[in-house]
Amino acid sequence: MNDPVAEYSAANENLRYAGNLKLAEVTVFVAATGGLIAALFNIDAAKHAQAGAVLKTFGLIVSWCFLVILESTQYAWFHFAERAARLEKELNYSLWSSLPGAPGFKYRPAAWAMRGFYLIAIVFWIVALIAGDRI
């Protein structure tokens, strides 16, 4: 783009979209995981011997997939935030460039918190698979 104001506006729109997308992703993940856990604890293990293992495996796969999706979304968010921060120097703005760590954003507490959230779910499903019928 030759127009830095239009590019800055587009970067901010993409940041808003990525932020909303992260919220939607975690919402779908919590609903899917809650459904899997509810199904896991409501199955009759005597009648459906393999159902528990299938649900746990699916929970592990879903958790891993959402972690990968999170990384992709966060990559896009940080890309646009860094670009917006760099454009602000040219435009004499200070919205993104005034954030701690801008424009490189090396300190990312929300990113680490979300990674931790998904990793805890992954560990839960691994432990559930190892525990077998006890969970």
Q: Indicate if the alpha-carbon torsion angle 78, 84, 90, 95 is positive or negative.
A: negative
Instruction: Identify whether the C-beta of residue 59 lies closer than 8 Å to the C-beta of residue 96.
Output: no
What is the pLDDT confidence band of residue 123, given thresholds at 50, 70 and 90? Answer: very high
Q: Is the pLDDT of residue 29 over 80?
A: yes
Tokens of 131: 């525990």
pTM of the model: 0.86
Is the pLDDT confidence value at 101 over 80?
no
33-56 residue pLDDT tens: 999 999 988 887 667 778 899 999
Residue 17 predicted with pLDDT over 80? yes
Q: How many structural domains comprise the chain?
A: 1
Structural domain harbouring 31:
4-134
Give the angle 79-7-76 at the CA atoms, nearest 5°.
Answer: 20
CA distance 55 to 100: 42
Percent of the chain predicted with pLDDT > 90: 67
